[in-house]
Copies of this chain bind each other. A is one copy, B any other.
Amino acid sequence: MNRKELVNQIFTKKSFLCVGLDTDIRKIPQHLLNGDNPVLTFNKAIIDATAPYCVAYKPNLAFYESLGVKGIAAFEQTVEYLKKNYPNHFIIADAKRGDIGNTSAMYARTFFEEYDIDALTVAPYMGEDSVTPFLGYEGKWVILLALTSNKGSHDFQLTEDKSGERLFEKVIRKSQNWADADNMMYVVGATQGKMFEDIRRVAPNHFLLVPGVGAQGGSLQEVCRYGIIKDCGLLVNSSRGIIYASNGEDFAEVAASKAKELQQQMEAELAKI
């Protein structure tokens, strides 16, 4: 999905919500565990319930890998289900990959050719040749970690070099030599608040994928105050706050209402642009 199509979806649906499918077998409602494929059943129900309120889904690979072969099958089936039933939703594989060129190229083929998903999160530590193999796929995106939502983001990402440039700023600045705002986004945690101003100074036009609203404590309003741009430029993710809002039989219904709540706040923010 290219940028124009993504922006169209956002303004049509009045939402820039991404629902994180961090499906943990130990957290999904008990009554699903009796079925054949509880992860897929859960995902389908969550997707059907939340699809009207979001523009993107982001399965985090860790949760699927933890179940071995069965988990990877559930991941593949989830992607298939999305592509068949919700072809206008943007699909992000949250994998935080990044390796030497030869290996990154393997990952790129897996995610962009085999699974045909729209975007992949990538870790920048290994530099240019670990990222470029993911580029050059028409309509596909790299979402590079820049300033993450966790406490550990302070350990290295904020380190200033001699000229006063912080590591996350250097990552954003350098990576703009490898890709542009049509095939690269950056991960910036919602918990970073006012730092969005600094991010927009180095990446005025890029889409940002923003995790950390909800369970991690970030504020949608603050993210928008400093981060929103003319064509929105934000995908705000919520995982646990939506998919585990209830673990009773009404889990999908409650997830829908949580997603709708966020969508309405987003509609208000989009109206201000």
Contacts and interface: CB of A to CB of B under 8 A. Distances in A.
B161 A160 contact: yes
Interface in A118-153: 123-131, 145, 148-153
Contacts of A211: 100
Given A114-B66, A123-B123, A153-B126, A106 B76 contact: no
A127 B167 CA distance: 13
B65 A76 contact: no
A150 B130 CA distance: 8
B100 A149 contact: yes
A174 B73 CA distance: 38
Interface string A99-126: 1110110110110001000000001111
B125 A68 contact: no
Contacts of A66: 106-107, 109-110, 114
27 contacts: A60-B99, A62-B103, A62-B104, A62-B107, A65-B107, A66-B114, A68-B72, A68-B114, A69-B72, A69-B73, A69-B76, A100-B149, A100-B216, A123-B123, A125-B156, A126-B145, A126-B148, A126-B153, A126-B157, A127-B152, A127-B154, A127-B155, A128-B152, A128-B155, A156-B170, A159-B159, A167-B167
A186 to B, nearest CB: 13
A22 to B, nearest CB: 7
Given A68-B76, A126-B148, 20 more contacts: A22-B103, A60-B99, A62-B107, A66-B107, A72-B72, A100-B211, A123-B125, A124-B156, A125-B148, A126-B145, A126-B150, A127-B154, A127-B155, A127-B156, A129-B150, A155-B174, A159-B161, A159-B170, A160-B161, A167-B167
A163 B65 CA distance: 41
A84 interface: no
A162 interface: yes
Contacts of A226: none
Contacts of A148: 100, 125-126
A98 interface: yes
A24 interface: yes
B145 A125 contact: yes
Nearest to A146: B125
Contacts of A101: 150
**Ranked 5 nearest A-B pairs via Cβ:** A127-B152, A127-B155, A129-B152, A62-B106, A66-B110
